[in-house]
Structure 1
Amino acid sequence: MDNQASSSPTDAATERKHAAMLDRLSRLHDSRNCLKSHDPNDTSFESTQTFLTNFNNSKLSIESQLSQIPKSCDPRSDINNVSVSISDLENLIAQNSYFLPPYELRASLKSVADLRQNLDVISSRVIPKKRFSFKAKKAVGNVSLASAQKVFDEMPVVESGEKDGVLVVRESEGFKGKENEVLVKEFKIGEEEIGEFMLSDLMNCEVRLVGCLRALFVHKLVNCRVYVGPVFGSVLIEEVEGCVFVMASHQIRIHHARGTDFYLRVRSRPIIEYCSGVRFAPYCLGYIEIDSDLKKSNLDEETGNWANVDDFKWLRAVQSPNWSILPESDRIATVNISGLEQQ
């Protein structure tokens, strides 16, 4: 009797600890079941290693499918299938994001963005479509057009002592150091002037770029309205505030933008970094021959990617708070930039 009495406090404490442990395990089990309720057969939630195995296997499969598209008898169907597979891979990341380390999450998101971009490049090559191109003898300096395009499309991002992720752009022809002006430039097919163009250090300006160009660099604009014809390469935007951009391009990357609206048509998903208060809507530009220019640049089809923005500084699966869809009631009407003389 005494032995039972002396052991009861220890037994009671052990039972309480055991009950508390069971309660914690039960809550953890319930939370995981809640997250997995959409797909009871999904086992990728168990560990980071399991996720990485599944992710890498799917990634390798997609890369293999991408390599086969140029040889396919039905490339359109294969392109659609690969696009669905990439979407499934995005869903896999979203489903597992709650336990993934930040590095693995960011690397996975970057891999998916690269797959999307590769699919866009392959699609533009294999689907028959009349496209604008220079003659073989045309070159940019001593570099062929194809080589120059690759350089611009893969322009690196470097670290800065004051700000991370500052884009490196070379000096090129453009509008620089202007205030309170209307700036107009027309790009004509076959002229040497077609190439890269820069907008830098502009305040309270309206910029109208008519025709096709290959690459556009934008740096330090405040309270400007920028209307751009089709860009069949890349657009790089750095440090803009209170602006409106209307542009069509194959690739668009935006750094350090604040309180700015973007009306886009873009072949790949727009990328933003270090941005806040940016809003997106579909392309709404008009001028004489714009339909022809869009076809020559392979930008005549609306992809809907203006609404599929990748925020590389937002690692969670939920919507980034740094960007939003511009409400229809706040959108500008189609802007016609025909009829102005070149300045």
Structure 2
Amino acid sequence: MDEALEVGDKLDTGADKVQERLQKRHQARIEDVERRKEAKESQSVAEEKGEYFYSAFNKERAAVEELLSGCSGADRATMTHRLEEATDRIGQLQKFLNDSVLFLTQYDLRQAQAALQKLQSTLAEMREDALPKKKFAFKVRTKAADKASVTPAPNPDADTPAAAGGTKRDGATASEQYGFSNMSDVLVTRTAEEIQKQDVLLTHLTNCKVRLLGSPSTLHLKHIDSCEILCGPVSSSVFIDHCRNSTLAFPCQQLRTHHTTDTQVYLHVTSRAIIEDCRGVSFAPFSWSYPSLEEDFSVSGLDKNRNNWNQVDDFNWLAAGTPSPNWMVIPEADRKTNWDTEN
């Protein structure tokens, strides 16, 4: 009798274990189905967001293109108004793209960026052709005239070209272009009164130190060699092309960097940084400071609490899950902190 009971207990225990295994297997299948369902729903949502983005983006892009084409043959007042409106709408289109980067693929993001850059280039060309600024000629300045803004560095006897700046156009409130080029071995400082809300272009600078105190609309750096360039908050984009062996620092909404090598970028960016055809580029959080920085942040409209300085998209490195070898984060111990006290 006891043996029969013992056998019965064993059978019950075995049956319980089999039932437990079946229940676990069933639960695992349910969970797997739920995971697949969630993944499918997530993919569907991303695809719907992507479809909505491209529909809205292309519709607005076409509207801006039509607005620009309407400038042909228009009188000066109408043309000025249209170019101002196009500037505002391109800015909104840029913000729309920045807010959508999380669900766009790298390829789709690159295509949208290229389309937007083409719009910006067309706008700049039309503004230059239709509303030309006064012509400025470079000339040799006296040392007394240079002291306020251009201080010779290692070579005090070198001739220093004057900076080229814009003046207000008749009734125009759109951003204007201001800048300087073909300089070497100089310290250049510009105040908010000179660069505020302007498109700033710096080209062909070698071994220079540049301080831009203010909030420009955009910043373009081209053919920069062995320079240190520090800038206040840029309300929209910073474009870098052919820069080498330099140190840069600025806050901005968007950063696009091309053909740049061995350069450090101290960055505050509210979207994501983009590099292409670059190597040896390194990043750290923006750390430069000057007395009116807080005021300039307010003028720029940038969010001080949103900084994606280490979120970098390399368009030459699309291997998912593998870090790009073309950029790195600057170790904390190696980051520059005393900007204006070092030689």
TM-score (ref. length: structure 2)? 0.54
Residue in structure 1 matched with residue 50 of structure 2 by the alignment: 59
Amino acid at match of 1:269: R
Q: Kindly provide the CA deviation profile for residues 265-312 of structure 1, in whole angstroms up to 9, marking residues without a partner as x.
A: 112211111111101111111111111111221225132211111112
Residue in structure 1 matched with residue 118 of structure 2 by the alignment: none
Amino acid at match of 1:180: D
Unaligned runs of 5+ in 1: 1-35, 45-50, 67-81, 94-104, 115-138, 150-171, 338-343
Residue in structure 2 matched with residue 227 of structure 1 by the alignment: 230
| Higher mean displacement: 282-291 or 327-336 | 327-336
CA drift of 1:237 comes to 0.7
CA drift of 1:179 comes to 1.3
In the alignment, is residue 321 of structure 1 matched against residue 317 of structure 2? no
Residue in structure 2 matched with residue 185 of structure 1 by the alignment: 190
1:331 to 327, 335, 338: 335
Structure 1 pair 194–56 and aligned structure 2 pair: CA distance change class (3 A): closer
Amino acid at match of 1:56: E
Unaligned runs of 5+ in 2: 1-31, 58-97, 116-166
Q: Kindly provide the CA deviation profile for residues 246-265 of structure 1, in whole angstroms up to 9, marking residues without a partner as x.
A: 11112221111101010011
Distance of 1:336 and 1:302 partners within structure 2: 25
Residue in structure 2 matched with residue 280 of structure 1 by the alignment: 283
Amino acid at match of 1:243: S
**Counterpart mapping for 1:1-343 below 5 A:** 55-60=46-51, 87=102, 89=103, 106-107=107-108, 141=169, 145=173, 172-188=177-193, 194-318=197-321, 319-333=323-337, 335-336=339-340
Question: In 1, are the aligned partners of 2:196 and 2:215 still within 8 Å (CA)?
Answer: no
Q: Kindly provide the CA deviation profile for residues 133-185 of structure 1, in whole angstroms up to 9, marking residues without a partner as x.
A: xxxxxx96479546x59xxxxxxxxxxxxxxxxxxxxxx53221111111111
Amino acid at match of 1:178: M
Residue in structure 2 matched with residue 100 of structure 1 by the alignment: none
Residue in structure 2 matched with residue 154 of structure 1 by the alignment: none
Distance of 1:192 and 1:282 partners within structure 2: 23
CA drift of 1:200 comes to 0.9
Structure 1 pair 61–199 and aligned structure 2 pair: CA distance change class (3 A): closer
Distance of 2:196 and 2:39 partners within structure 1: 56
Amino acid at match of 1:214: S
Q: Which structure: larger Rg? A: 2
| Higher mean displacement: 260-269 or 292-301 | 292-301
CA drift of 1:55 comes to 4.9
| Higher mean displacement: 193-202 or 216-225 | 193-202
Q: Kindly provide the CA deviation profile for residues 212-248 of structure 1, in whole angstroms up to 9, marking residues without a partner as x.
A: 2112111111111111111112211100001000111
Question: In 2, are the aligned partners of 1:198 and 1:217 still within 8 Å (CA)?
Answer: yes
Q: How many residues align?
A: 220
Aligned to 1:176, the other structure's residue is in SS state strand
Q: Kindly provide the CA deviation profile for residues 74-116 of structure 1, in whole angstroms up to 9, marking residues without a partner as x.
A: xxxxxxxx97x964x36xx6xxxxxxxxxxx6236656999xx
Residue in structure 2 matched with residue 152 of structure 1 by the alignment: none
Q: Kindly provide the CA deviation profile for residues 37-68 of structure 1, in whole angstroms up to 9, marking residues without a partner as x.
A: xx655777xxxxxx8x77532423678999xx
Aligned to 1:57, the other structure's residue is in SS state helix
Distance of 1:329 and 1:197 partners within structure 2: 32
| Percent identity (aligned) | 30
Question: In 2, are the aligned partners of 1:264 and 1:281 still within 8 Å (CA)?
Answer: yes
Distance of 1:333 and 1:173 partners within structure 2: 28
> Alpha carbon RMSD of aligned pairs, Å?
4.0
